[in-house]
Chains A and B, each alone.
Chain A
Amino acid sequence: MVVITVNDVDCYYDSAKVLEGIKLKIGKGDFVGIIGTNGSGKTTLLRAISGTLKPRKGTVFLEDIDVNRIKKLELARKMAVVPQDTNILFDFTSFDIVMMGRNPHVDRLRFESEKDVQAVEKAMEFTGSLQFANRPIGSLSAGERQRVSIARALAQEPEIILLDEPTSHLDIGFQLEILELLLKLSEKEKLTVIAVFHDLNLAAVYCKTILLLKGGMVMACGNIDDVIRPEIIRDAYGVNVDVKLHPLTGSPYIVPLARVGSRVQKKNLKVHVICGGGTGSALFKTLVDEGYDVSAGVLSWPDSDYEYAGALGIDVVGESPFCSVGEQSSEENLARIRDADAVILTDMPVSTGNIKNLEAFKIAVEEGKLAICVGQTTPEKRDFAGGRAVQLLDEIYRMNVVLVNDAHNAIKVLTDGARWKKDS
């Protein structure tokens, strides 16, 4: 059943258009997340749905009635709103504030009944705010106030709850607790939840539907998998992200990588990185940020280094999962090494599968490339090739290589090396 219909709505603040052509249908028991950059119209959309801001064009319907035509008292029995922050003049206790949520249910000429107190207690217990029920609201922290605010909305016993960044002041424990609670209510009691999120990963875990706003317009709307995609997030927020699946929940989560088009002076120097097992990712990012032309290899597909290389647009030589580095990929790798101005070896673990990479590095050193070894793990600890890696590394260390402890120092060497190259 559709409970909320936003029908082609335009909203203005004075003459500034904040929302344009918003169309949206929300079903009973849906959990909808509204995301978008600052100023994209998220809060305004909530205000339009709650009947606070009257759209200049279009209509918001609650079931089939225009929300602006419903009496506030009647609306408050169906819809509760949790604002970003609550301020109240004079020192009411948290209990008093939550009891205000009962206002639409209590007759003007009566006091609250025991049923009202029970509703308040339940809401405060759910939100973990019962222990400061008798404390003045002014003495609470922002996070505690936020929980009181959510408790007040729940005490209203609404069918629809609108929340504007409901967890912005909460620690991670309470963030999950509150969102779990809302999810449970939406599933079991068919509470319709519409919430503005800044944290895309939280939104991705809990929302059934995601609405992405950009510049006051709907940029994408649908299932999480349809909206939380690298190319969509890049267009909306202007950042490169990697979207992975959470290993435990299976919902997508986002790892921000770099801002799109960040002004990096291209150095026109090619660096090839030999890495694996996650030892190269941080180095990739540093090199790309510094403007080097980076290649890498050989990496097998499930390796996180392979994924990040791809996300950063690095030219990478890949190999099938759980296979040894083959002839063809090895040749490709060597070709890139020969093409590069410098070669960097990380402190990757070495097994019989990828020992060819180490041999490739040795060839690079022998051919007189600027060669850098990064990392602090001793050869013994990363030798899974029965002593062969220790032996190779020992030979390499006797040759003309630079040993540094981290990516930062590697960059220093590269800068100096570049100067040296120019001089010669």
Chain B
Amino acid sequence: MSELAERHFRRIASWKRTVAILVVVLAFTSIAGLNVGFSQIPFQKIIAILLQNVLNTSQALNMPEPTAAESAILLQVRLPRILAGILVGASLSVGGVVFQAVFRNPMADPYVLGVSSGAAAGGVAAIAFGFGTATLGVFAVPAMAFFGASMTSMLVYRLAKIGGTTPAMTLLLSGIAISIVLSSFVTLTLFFANPYNQLQGIIFWLIGSLASMSWTEVIVATPLILIPALLINFFGRDLNVMLLGEEEAGHLGVEPESLKKIVILLASLAVASAVAISGIIGFVGLIVPHIVRLLVGPDHRILIPASIIGGATYMVAFDAVSRVIYPPLEFPVGVITALAGGPFFLYLLRRKKGSYRI
């Protein structure tokens, strides 16, 4: 086998290792996330509680006996919160990867494009006006969020497309304009919302937070996020080819129109489900794919899984930071990610050299 071939197959083989390493990093970050907070729970107790309740093993080894309060905090508050962080981080990041490839634009991200606002508007419509709650029950909010998100992504794409490309200028401007309109709609519903049982819920859409996450939300969101996120992995090679432009992708056997529809819908479903449980958390989908690209390169066959796991880690880590930065208060994680993401966004905007031509 030639040197080039060996190199190629070595690289493909290394992708499995990369995924394994990222999973381990995510596991450690999650345990650290379970550890920190207003009341610190020692690692040994965390392991003990998880072993007892998740794996159903009887008290093993010589672990310290956790108190009932510690068990409750860990199982009812922290664990669903960490899992929600994993789901939200994964879906926003995979959304970023997909939008950047399909729009051929490194600035694309569910937040910048207004897709998150679209999901929020849909979700709020379900909460405040009860759209779909009668027929869909707990799925009404994610379903309406999905509707809002997919309509927004299609609309922004139509508005931004000039010829065969979506120039950064038109894409960002139409995304921002749509985003402002939809956020205003969410704000407007504040006036109509019932101050006793709806107002708080709607405000949290606007800020974005993983606080007060319950198992119900996690269980509803898990399939709605994991299934599309996993399905997107099948389109890795197509998305690589799409980066050459739609016309050239067509010459290489990709049907650009149907590919775009499929992956945008899958990404919108994942993003909408994330927004339905956490509200709008900005810039995650922008930053994570760029960091992951630096680590694993631009090939979507590794970029997608690595961004899913890496994005989950990023979110869990930032959520932990939001809890320890100024105890006993905790900041909404959306504020922290925006503070980190804004400058990065500006950096990308100013950077014109090299391959990030926009």
Contact = CB atoms under 8 A, between A and B. Distances in A.
Same complex: yes
Interface of A: 50-52, 71-77, 79-81, 83, 86-92, 95-97, 99-101, 103-104, 106, 108-109, 111-112, 114, 117-118, 120-121, 130, 133-134, 136-138, 156
Contact of B252 (A51, A89, A103, A134): A103
A89 B354 contact: no
A89 B355 contact: yes
Interface stretch (B4-12, B27-35, B61-69, B205-213): B4-12
Most buried by A among B4, B104, B243, B252: B252
Nearest to A92: B298
Interface string B219-256: 00000000000000010011011011101101111110
B244 A100 contact: yes
Contact of A52 (B8, B101, B244, B247): B247
Contacts of B253: 72-77, 103-104
7 contacts: A74-B253, A86-B248, A87-B244, A90-B298, A100-B241, A111-B12, A117-B2
B257 to A, nearest CB: 10
Contact of B1 (A89, A90, A109, A114): A114
B4 A121 contact: yes
Given A75-B253, A103-B241, A112 B354 contact: no
B352 interface: no
Contacts of A83: 247-248
B129 interface: no
Nearest to A109: B234
B114 interface: no
B38 interface: no
Given A51-B250, A71-B255, A134-B7, 14 more contacts: A83-B247, A89-B355, A89-B356, A90-B293, A90-B356, A91-B298, A92-B243, A100-B240, A100-B244, A103-B241, A114-B9, A117-B2, A121-B5, A136-B355
A103 B1 CA distance: 21
A76 B252 contact: yes
A97 B299 CA distance: 11
A156 B253 CA distance: 10
A111 B100 CA distance: 23
Given A90-B355, A100-B240, A109-B234, A117 B8 contact: yes
A51 B252 CA distance: 12
Contact size class for B?
A: 35 or more
A12 B255 CA distance: 22
Contacts of A92: 240, 243, 298-299
Contacts of B299: 92, 96
Interface in B142-180: none
Top 5 closest pairs, chain A to chain B, by CB: A76-B253, A104-B253, A90-B298, A73-B253, A81-B251
A15 to B, nearest CB: 16
A73 B105 CA distance: 25
B4 A117 contact: yes
Contacts of B354: 91, 138
Contacts of A50: 251
B89 interface: no
Contacts of A74: 253
Contact of A72 (B9, B255, B298): B255
Contacts of A104: 252-253
Contacts of B2: 117, 121
Contacts of A136: 355
A415 B336 CA distance: 82
Contacts of B9: 114, 117
A114 B5 contact: yes
Contacts of A86: 244, 248
A90 B100 CA distance: 10
Interface of B: 1-2, 4-5, 7-9, 12, 100-101, 104-106, 234, 237-238, 240-241, 243-245, 247-248, 250-255, 293, 298-299, 301, 354-357
Contacts of B298: 90-92
Nearest to B299: A96
A313 B301 CA distance: 66
A230 to B, nearest CB: 37
Nearest to B104: A89
B131 to A, nearest CB: 37
Contacts of A77: 253
Given A96-B299, A114-B5, A117-B4, A52 B250 contact: yes
A261 B299 CA distance: 56
A73 B237 CA distance: 13
Contacts of A76: 251-253
A108 B234 contact: yes
A73 B252 CA distance: 7
A95 B4 contact: yes
B353 to A, nearest CB: 9
B251 A80 contact: yes
Contacts of A73: 253-255
B5 A88 contact: no
A75 B251 CA distance: 8
Contacts of A106: 237
A72 B241 CA distance: 13
A117 B7 CA distance: 10
A100 B254 CA distance: 11
Contacts of A89: 100-101, 104-106, 243, 355-357
A134 B354 CA distance: 17
B128 to A, nearest CB: 40
A121 B7 CA distance: 12
A87 B357 contact: yes
A87 B245 contact: yes
Contacts of A95: 4, 8
Contacts of A99: 8
Contacts of A75: 253
Nearest to B2: A121
A138 B237 contact: no
B237 A103 contact: yes
Contacts of A87: 244-245, 357
Contacts of B356: 89-90
A101 B252 contact: yes
Nearest to A124: B4
Contacts of A91: 298, 354-355
A206 to B, nearest CB: 23
A108 to B, nearest CB: 6
Contacts of B106: 89-90
Nearest to A136: B355
A161 B30 CA distance: 53
Nearest to B258: A72
Contacts of B105: 89
Contacts of B238: 103
Given A89-B243, A90-B293, A114-B1, A108 B252 contact: no
A165 B289 CA distance: 36
B4 to A, nearest CB: 6
Contacts of A133: 4
